[in-house]
Amino acid sequence: MKGKTGKILVVDDNDYVLKTINQLLKYECETIISIKNPNQIHSILSKESFDVILLDMNFKAGVNTGNEGLFWLDEILKIDKNAVVIMITAYGDIELAVKAIKNGATDFITKPWDAEKFITTVLNTIKLSQSKHKNEILEIRQEQLKKDINKPFENFIGSSEKMKEIFTLIEKVSKTDANILILGENGTGKELIAREIHKRSERANEIFMTVDIASMSESIIESELFGYVKGAFTDAKEDRIGRMESASGGTLFLDEIGNLSLAIQSKLLTVLQNRIIYRVGSPKEIPINIRLICATNNNIEELIEKGQFREDLYYRINTIQIHSPALRERGNDIIELAQFYLNKFADKYNKGKLTIAKDAQKDLLDYPWNGNVRELMHTMEKAVILSDKTELNTTDFYLKPSQKNKNENTSNKLEDVEKRIILEVLEKHKWNLTKTANELNISRTTLYLKLKKYEIQ
């Protein structure tokens, strides 16, 4: 027996009609709910949704004008403008049925009906309804994505030299389809850079699709990226489009690409070379047209040396490389961002206008901000919530003393002291980069960049 499909509501005051419809459809439909009194329509539709509603044209004995059916059709469409309604009418009321369709009904069935024709009509309408629903969901998602990429990124703020370099790069690469790799610590705004590139590109009116590799288990990454067909694995109950196929025509942003397994890296490389994907479990070629932007806080070159990342894939995704600077490297951008978030959260929590005291500004500039912009944002929100003052000082920001003091000790010889500290910690851990980065409370990427900066080998 083929699988049942669809959920239908039958509204008819005739017990024989209700029983007949149930007999005809019980092996075809998943759920059949019948009601005799149309006054129940409001309550049932407020709680449940249906693929198809079968609605009689007449309910009162001796009345066959069809006005009741038209009335309840209108009520149903008021509750759900997308409701799919099939009218049940007498053989001689074709003109009335046509009027119902003009008023919003999808189809009509005449009594007495041919059983096979009745079943075919209902099942086809269910398919139409389900297809319509899926398309609506897709349209909603696409519309939301388009709104997302077109809104101003208010926290993409900064006038430092580091940020000016980023803005210049964005302008240069946006009009091309070159693959881009964005490097930087967590919380530095790598996704914002990717979105800004997309927003200024020729694909701006298409989808910006984000895939956070770090948030996915190894077992689902392949099916999420490439999609799958029904029966490809145990839980594959139906065909599903993958993120790459969905992003075709637009931009695909792969965040934390350094977390990809070698097996998926190999498949991604093939996709980038051939611009063709295969859904899991299918031999059918599906051409795609994407602009790829990747990001990671990992040291890709080090992963390559360890055999954990394919060098040929690295060159494919790294046509243009952008380094998203750490907040501590951005100077007075810290104060600009801090005041922005103060204003934002003061408005959210109805705290009025808030300012930052001069001494506190110096402390904010000296603070290392290992969590970068994300940490700064949470710090400002906490300060707004907990403080009752209009001018905030250092104590209102609850900065961690150990980190702040470490930064203060660098004074005017920051680079010399930083180099000395890095060397001391490297020696302590016998040049183990992971342990060194952990003790310094920085990422491996940042440590690698500092080793290059200070020519430490």
CB 253 within 8 A of CB 296: no
Where in the chain do CATH 1.10.8.60 domains reside?
327-408
Q: Report the run of H or E that residue 313 belongs to, with start and end.
A: helix 311-317
What region, left, alpha or beta, does residue 107 occupy, with left being phi > 0 and alpha being psi -120 to 50 degrees? beta
How far are the Cα atoms of 38, 89, 93, 243, 386 from residue 98, in angstroms, in the given order?
Answer: 21, 11, 9, 43, 66
Task: Quote the DSSP letter at residue 280.
Answer: B
What pLDDT was estimated at residue 69?
Answer: 87
Contacts of 153 (CB under 8 A, 6+ apart): 192, 195, 196
CB 322 within 8 A of CB 169: yes
Distance CA 379, CA 184 (A): 21
- Residue 447 has a CB neighbour count (10 Å cut-off) of 22
CB 390 within 8 A of CB 406: no
Distance CA 250, CA 243 (A): 11
What pLDDT was estimated at residue 404?
Answer: 44
When the candidates are 3.40.50.620, 1.10.286.10, 1.20.1640.10, 1.10.8.60, the CATH number that belongs to 327-408 is 1.10.8.60
CB 156 within 8 A of CB 189: yes
What pLDDT was estimated at residue 128?
Answer: 84
Distance CA 397, CA 364 (A): 9
CA angle 118, 122, 125 (to 5 degrees): 140
CB 414 within 8 A of CB 268: no
CB 257 within 8 A of CB 304: no
Output the pTM of the full model. 0.58
CB 158 within 8 A of CB 272: no
Task: Quote the DSSP letter at residue 322.
Answer: E
Q: Give tens-digit pLDDT for 361-382.
A: 999 999 999 999 999 999 999 9
CATH 3.90.1170.30, domain 7-133, yes or no:
no
Handedness of CA 240, 245, 250, 254 (dihedral sign): positive
Q: Edge-to-edge strand order for the sheet containing 107-111?
A: 31-35, 7-11, 52-56, 85-90, 107-111
Distance CA 326, CA 36 (A): 68
What pLDDT was estimated at residue 403?
Answer: 47
Distance CA 149, CA 145 (A): 6
Where in the chain do CATH 3.40.50.300 domains reside?
161-323
CB 183 within 8 A of CB 323: yes
What pLDDT was estimated at residue 420?
Answer: 81
Distance CA 353, CA 333 (A): 20
Distance CA 93, CA 100 (A): 11
CATH number of 161-323: 3.40.50.300
Task: Quote the DSSP letter at residue 181.
Answer: E
What pLDDT was estimated at residue 321?
Answer: 95
Q: Report the run of H or E that residue 108 belongs to, with start and end.
A: strand 107-111
The two counts, helices (H) then strands (E), for the chain are 19, 16
Where in the chain do CATH 1.10.10.60 domains reside?
413-453
Distance CA 45, CA 417 (A): 70
What pLDDT was estimated at residue 274?
Answer: 94
What pLDDT was estimated at residue 435?
Answer: 85
What pLDDT was estimated at residue 342?
Answer: 94
Task: Quote the DSSP letter at residue 39.
Answer: G
Instruction: Using alpha carbons, select from 323, 297, 329, 325 the residue that is nearest to residue 414.
Output: 329
Residues of the chain with pLDDT under 70: 1-3, 60-64, 91-92, 133-134, 136-155, 401-414, 457
Q: Give tens-digit pLDDT for 38-95.
A: 999 988 887 777 899 999 988 766 556 778 889 999 999 887 777 899 998 876 677 8
The packing angle between helices 262-274 and 218-226, to 10°, is 10
Distance CA 274, CA 244 (A): 13
| CA-atom Rg of the chain in angstroms | 31
CATH 1.10.10.60, domain 413-453, yes or no:
yes
Structure tokens at 270: 């093939």
